[in-house]
Amino acid sequence: MTLTTDRVQDPDLLAQIVEVSGDAIFSEDLAGQITSWNSAAERLYGCSRRDMLGRSAADLLPEQTALQLRSLHERGLAGERVERVDTWHQRPDGRHIAVSVTVSPLRGPDKALVGLATSVQDVTDRVRLTAEVEDAHRTLEKQYAVLGRSNRDLEQFAYVASHDLSEPLRVMTGFVQLLERRYGDVLDERGSRYIFHVVDGAARMRTLIDDLLEYSRFLRSDRTSCRVDTTAVVRRVLAELETAQVEVRDLPAVWSDEASLAAVVQNLISNALKFHRPDAPARVVVSACLEGSRVRLMVDDDGIGIAEEYRERVFGMFSRLHVREAYAGTGIGLAIVQQVAERSDGRAWVESSPLGGSRFCITLPLAPMAAGDAG
């Protein structure tokens, strides 16, 4: 059989190309007898050229494979283009392989059909990989849905718990205060001390519940991102904190929402101011740098710092490293910062600051260029 094309005339060269091809390539005549069988076909089906030449696929290949090939060949003989048909073939050793089959008509010098060439590509690895990726994707989606549900349940629980706890606490506090006012003079010193502790404990619980409520409100609210002027937000927070101790460097606009960014900035700056060294007021610097398409916002201080082993823990809810008497607070601030970071697929962390204290960082999406930003 001679293949003729316009450009390649050398049948030896063509035969060599076919022989070294990574795809199994074989041809058969109109009676279905194998006329060529390359090395890749030997490897793919585990059948030698010697065994195959002059035989038909149905003689040596498993029935299912031979039938599949036959139906593709019939389509080819009927003049249909059979290109990259994905299917499964069974090898004589019983193993199944995923293949992509192309069948082309072979024509003699007079253009009459003389047979068919079949090229079979082993795509088992690709199919397996695709299946694995799809599987992983499905598992991830399932886990994501479960996580979303349990998050919503948790948010709902935190909201209901903090909301419903408020009422009995209010009643308790009211009555203890009444007790103190009405019967204060008949109580001895120990009785007054007990009442003081109850009032103090109730006040602390009030703060905890209020913070929890604020946190769960924060989680529940739907926020739409837009371009936010970071510098303006920082300036506003500083005005509210009534402090002039903070140095603010150049800050690019971020893609977020004002409330979230204000909460982040407020919590980080007030922490930096709060956890200063006992002998000196805090020095605080707010700066930013670019990390790809994100902005890394940094708040540096020269305060007491955080030991390496606590740097993850501080972002947990109600997680604090000091007693109330040393530094006031409930431990919700950094949990909110973490929440904002996660919502925008970013990250929040703390490291050592070149100023000597802590450097808190959060990555937020960079706002797309607005008209007038260019230059």
Q: Which is nearer to Mg ion, 338 or 363 (CB)?
A: 338
Q: Which is nearer to ligand ATP, 278 or 375 (CB)?
A: 278
Total residues binding ligand ATP (CB under 6 A): 24
Name residue, tokens 């204290």: 357
The single residue listed with the structure tokens 């022989």 is 19
Q: Phi and psi dihedrals of 354, rounded to 5? A: -60, -15
Q: Tokens for 135, please give them.
A: 């599987």
Q: What are phi and psi of 284, to 5 degrees?
A: -130, 135
Query: Is 44 a binder of ligand ATP (CB under 6 A)?
Result: no
162 binds ligand ATP (CB under 6 A): no
Least distance from Mg ion to the Cβ atom of residue 199, Å: 25
Cβ at position 159, least distance to Mg ion in Å: 21
Nearest CB to ligand ATP, comparing residues 295 and 334: 334
Select from 341, 360, 339 the least CA-distant residue to 284.
360
Q: What's the order of all strands across the beta sheet hosting 348-352?
A: 246-248, 284-291, 294-301, 358-365, 348-352
- Would you count residue 341 as binding ligand ATP (CB under 6 A)? no
CA distances from 277 to 208, 303, 307, 313, 357 (A): 26, 5, 15, 21, 9
Binding flag, residue 68, ligand ATP (CB under 6 A): no
Candidates 57, 304, 361, 364: give the one binding ligand ATP (CB under 6 A): 304
CB of 244 to ligand ATP, least distance (A): 18
Q: Which of 239, 222, 242 is nearest to 231 (CA)?
A: 239
* Binding flag, residue 332, ligand ATP (CB under 6 A): yes
- Spatial separation of the C-alpha atoms in residues 308 and 328, rounded to whole Å: 22
Instruction: Give yes or no for residue 359 binding ligand ATP (CB under 6 A).
Output: no
Region 261-290 residues binding Mg ion, contact defined as CB under 5 A:
271
Q: Which stretch binds ligand ATP (CB under 6 A): 86-94, 166-174, 233-241, 328-336?
A: 328-336
Q: Around Cβ 338, how many Cβ atoms within 10 Å?
A: 20
Count of residues making up the chain: 375
Residue 76 in contact with Mg ion, rule: CB under 5 A: no
Binding of residue 333 to ligand ATP (CB under 6 A): yes
> Which of 34, 350 has the CB closer to ligand ATP?
350
* 188 exposure class (CB count in 10 Å sphere: 0-12, 13-18, 19+): exposed
Q: How far is the CB of 321 from Mg ion (least distance, A)?
A: 11
From candidates 62, 76, 303, 333, binder to Mg ion by CB under 5 A: 333
247, 284 Cβ separation under 8 angstroms: yes
Distance CA 246, CA 302 (A): 12
Q: Among residue numbers 262 through 301, which ones bind ligand ATP (CB under 6 A)?
A: 267, 271-272, 275, 301
Using rule CB under 5 A, residue 38 touches Mg ion: no
Q: Give the DSSP H or E segment for 249.
A: none
Q: Using CB under 6 A as the criterion, which residues of the chain lie in contact with ligand ATP when the complex forms?
A: 211, 267, 271-272, 275, 301, 303-306, 314, 319-322, 329-335, 357-358
